[in-house]
């Protein structure tokens, strides 16, 4: 298992922990593990995909991480700004109509 990226800004919410898994040679998947026990699965760990992180290294810029929202646990979605993500998911919140008033 690899470490979380150095610029990953979130702390795991109470009752959760983050873990990573190699997805491709330069891409890791970031997972949220639920620490609660659930009777429907015999107490096994329940995990949800947070998103993906692609690491690129160049001589001029050094190491850079690009974060992606998930389409599902096997498919990478759109690029997201790490500062606009939430602790439980990298997916963008689409607010419409009156929801925009409470931002």
pLDDT digits (tens, 9 = 90+) for 47-84: 999 999 999 888 887 889 999 999 999 999 999 999 88
d(CA 27, CA 65): 9
**Count of structural domains within the chain:** 1
Residue 50, domain extent = 16-102
Is it the case that residue 43 has pLDDT exceeding 80? no
**Does residue 94 lie in a domain region?**
yes
User: pLDDT value at position 96?
Assistant: 72
**Does residue 1 lie in a domain region?**
no
The secondary structure of residue 92, as a DSSP letter, is P
């Amino acid at each position: 298992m690899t470490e979380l990226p150095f610029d990953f800004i979130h702390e795991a919410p109470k009752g959760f922990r983050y873990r990573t898994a190699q997805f491709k040679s330069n891409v890791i998947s970031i997972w949220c593990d639920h620490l609660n026990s659930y009777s429907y699965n015999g107490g096994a760990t329940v995990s949800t995909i947070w998103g993906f992180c692609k690491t690129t290294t160049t001589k001029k810029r050094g190491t850079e991480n690009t974060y992606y929202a998930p389409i599902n646990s096997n498919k990478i979605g759109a690029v997201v700004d790490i500062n606009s993500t939430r602790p439980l998911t990298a997916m963008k919140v689409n607010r419409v109509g009156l929801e925009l008033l409470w931002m």
